[in-house]
Amino acid sequence: MSELRGHIAIEEAIAVPGLAERRPPIPLPGNVKPEFVADMLARLPDVTRWRLPEMDANGIAMQVLSLTVPGIEADENAARAVANAGFVNDYLADVVRDHPDRFAAFAALPLQDPDAAVRELQRAVGELGLRGALVNDHVQGRYLDDPAFDQVWAALAELGVPLYLHPGMPPADAWHVLAGHPEMYGALWSWQAETGGHAMRVVLSGVFDRHPEARMILGHAGEFLPFQLSRFDSRYATLTVPAPLRREPSAYFGENVQVTTSGILAPAAVKALVDVLGPDAVLFAVDYPYESTSAAVAALEQAAIPFADKEKVAFGNARRLLRL
């Protein structure tokens, strides 16, 4: 076992018992192997049987829990979403209260009602002690650059907590490029592209000019984006836009936009991410239970970066950003 210990993993899914009975059924993808589905359905709501032993076996000091996909965002009924977000956040707070040294959590938000989302964020952070919010991509076809959500960004900045922008909603529209290749939909490819596009909408809309203290986290090595920063800058310089950004697009990455290693199991990719954004902007994550904890830990341990930088990625940056 490596001397690198005490990892804080910040994109770790959990299912909340009783939530499924409180909303309409959400169909599962039809092309996922049944044995994988069965394993995930067993592991997602679990805390002590599999989750904690797997953490212990791999040097994970803490998981930051979040409601598994598709989250609250999948519900068309705003009033039900508000009630269910409160239900989920109360449950997450109870798990953290029972295991305060092992778990923290991100809140679910009922963004179908932005006013209620702000109130729930304030409650979740101020009263329940949650460490920010996680949003599963779009909200019934609306993206977080929508002016209606500006108050949410303002509240995040005021509270000093991040928003984790995560994939997982059914697509807002049909992509012809996916036709005939259902395997491309979801975590294999389309979720990264969709969520990366959503994140670029947020950056290019000036959210971080209006709210410079706001922070957004992107998983899966930043959903394709960090390795395109120089191209974003060179092409943006050739465009006329209605409301130009105060800085080049790349300048918001590493400061307002942090990224995680969730689902990235190649040491070379972890190294490249640190090389591009710097060791202060990359945080460790597994994507439990969908990915292997041991493989995620090994990818960071074997990355050819200085040990001090590995410690920042493994736990230091999460402690600072989430005030753990």
> Hey, which residues are catalytic here?
287
CA 120 to chain centre: 18
d(CA 122, CA 118): 6
Cβ–Cβ contacts within 10 Å for residue 74, how many? 17
Helix (H) / strand (E) element for 293: namely helix 293-301
Buried b (16+ CB within 10 A) or exposed e, 62-73: bbbbbbbbbbbb
d(CA 299, CA 222): 16
In this structure, what DSSP letter does residue 191 have? H
Position 158: which residue type?
Answer: E
CA 273 to chain centre: 17
- Residue corresponding to tokens 């939909």: 185
Give the burial class of 237: count Cβ atoms within 10 A of its Cβ; 0-12 exposed, 13-18 middle, 19 or more buried. Answer: exposed
Give the burial class of 155: count Cβ atoms within 10 A of its Cβ; 0-12 exposed, 13-18 middle, 19 or more buried. Answer: buried
Query: Is the four-CA dihedral 43, 47, 49, 52 of positive or negative sign?
Result: positive
157 neighbors 120 (Cβ within 8 angstroms): no
E-strand spans in 137-239? Answer: 163-166, 216-218
